[in-house]
Amino acid sequence: MAESTAKPIDVHTWSTPNGWKIPIMLEECGLPYRIVPVNIGKGEQHAPDFLAISPNNKIPAIVDPDGPGGEPVSVFESGAILQYLGRKTGCLYPSDERARVAVDEWLFWQIGGFGPMLGQAHHFRIYAQEKIPYAIDRFTEEAHRLYGVLDRRLEGREYLAGDYSIADVAVLPWAKFHAKQGIDLDQLPNAKRWLDTVLARPAVQRGLAAI
Ligand SMILES: N[C@@H](CCC(=O)N[C@@H](CS)C(=O)NCC(=O)O)C(=O)O
């Protein structure tokens, strides 16, 4: 946890790609936080206390005791949390509108596609008791398409959208599990170089170790 005199942000989360984004962001921005584990394997995401801050029964969610106007605020949906923390701190989220549009594009690309489709690929390839070839092929093909988009985007670019940003923070915990999604990153040199770079960041390593 980062050192600060500010009141810690409660991070309701679990050890999943979406769940790791928030401790990574908080470590990057040096904000103090406390992990409140929500064991989704045991169904804790359906507890009334959690639903009060995350009505879609999914992690992550945060409660910031020092929200707008100095009052507490809760935020669910990882993209909304990253944008909130970026606006609150000015960290990893540019204020220049042209730069911000680019970050938002790649953030929403992850939220709407790279996360959900890779989650399905991982599920049908690894977790599902019944191996369903149609589902495995469908989501593995989509994973290949998405990683192709990522690799082309990173050609000649260090990060996804200008400087290192919340877009990179959103994509990296998903890309870390490329092998389970049926992806050989050695075939995608730009994505591989980017992933090695972002995973080497000390704040990323601390965030990944936080839950
Ligand atoms: N769009 C959401 C997705 C969150 C999500 O899918 N969370 C999963 C873990 S990665 C979860 O809480 N699953 C529990 C459930 O579906 O009951 C976000 O980005 O925050």
The pLDDT of residue 5: 64
Number of the ligand 1 atom closest to the C-alpha atom of 19: 10
Residue 18 in contact with ligand 1 by CB distance below 6 A? yes
The residue whose CA has the least distance to atom 6 of ligand 1 is: 58
CA of 60 to the centre of ligand 1 (A): 7
The parts of the chain modelled with pLDDT lower than 50 are 1-3
Residue 75 in contact with ligand 1 by CB distance below 6 A? no
H-only helix segments in the chain = 17-29, 48-51, 78-89, 97-109, 115-122, 133-153, 166-175, 189-199, 202-209
Helix, strand, or coil here: 15? coil
Alpha carbon 191 to its chain centroid, in Å, reads: 16
pLDDT digits (tens, 9 = 90+) for 148-161: 999 999 999 999 99
Residue 78 in contact with ligand 1 by CB distance below 6 A? yes
The pLDDT of residue 4: 52
Number of the ligand 1 atom closest to the C-alpha atom of 14: 9
Residue 15 in contact with ligand 1 by CB distance below 6 A? no
Euclidean distance between CA atoms 143 and 159, whole angstroms: 20
pTM score = 0.96
Cis ω for the linkage preceding 37 (within 30 of 0): no
Residue 59 in contact with ligand 1 by CB distance below 6 A? yes
Q: Give the chain's largest Cα–Cα span.
A: 53
Residue 204 phi/psi, 5-degree rounding, is -65, -45
High-pLDDT (> 70) share of the chain, %: 98
Number of the ligand 1 atom closest to the C-alpha atom of 38: 12
Residue 45 in contact with ligand 1 by CB distance below 6 A? yes
